[in-house]
Amino acid sequence: MSYAYDDQNIFAKILRGEIPNTTVLETEHSLAFRDLYPQAPTHVLVIPKGAYVSYDHFATEASEAEIVDYTRAIAEVCRLEGVTLTAGEGFRMISNAGSHGVQEVPHLHVHILGGRPLGRMLAKA
């Protein structure tokens, strides 16, 4: 079964310039922008420009150039935000997928969170 991508999702609209965003970094294949409802002092979303729903979709079907660009863009955002282990106190990356992952926007995004202690990874169910 192939992955279905809805090009009306809000991040696709951001990529087309139809709605604004606060850009942190733009590269050939990736865009990073601030989350509209930040949950930590650093809360940046990093998305590939390609039409990928989730990380497994991206890792399966993206080109090596896209994967390298995206991976490096995530690291560069961490550097720009001062949360790397070389310059700061660390961060958390989260990428939600599908209904069990409680993904709201069906375009791959990694949340980069930092700037304060973030607590345990998951609340107890």
Cβ proximity of 69 and 28 under 8 Å: yes
Between 37 and 100, CB nearer to ligand AMP: 37
Closer residue to ligand AMP, CB minimum distance, 12 or 62: 12
- CB of 90 or CB of 98, closer to ligand AMP: 98
Give phi and psi for 43, each to the nearest 5: -145, 95
Q: Of 23-31, 50-58, 101-109, 116-124, which segment contacts ligand AMP by CB under 6 A? A: 101-109
Whose CA is closest to 52, among 111, 110, 101?
110
Please provide residue 81's backbone torsions phi and psi, each rounded to the nearest 5 degrees.
-85, -5
**Rounded Cα distance, 103 and 108, in Å:** 9
29 an active-site residue?
A: no
Minimum CB distance to ligand AMP, residue 64 (Å): 25
Q: Which two tokens stand for residue 7?
A: 């090009």
- What are the catalytic residues? 109
Q: Given the rule CB under 6 A, which residues bind ligand AMP? A: 10, 19, 21, 35-37, 45, 96, 102-105
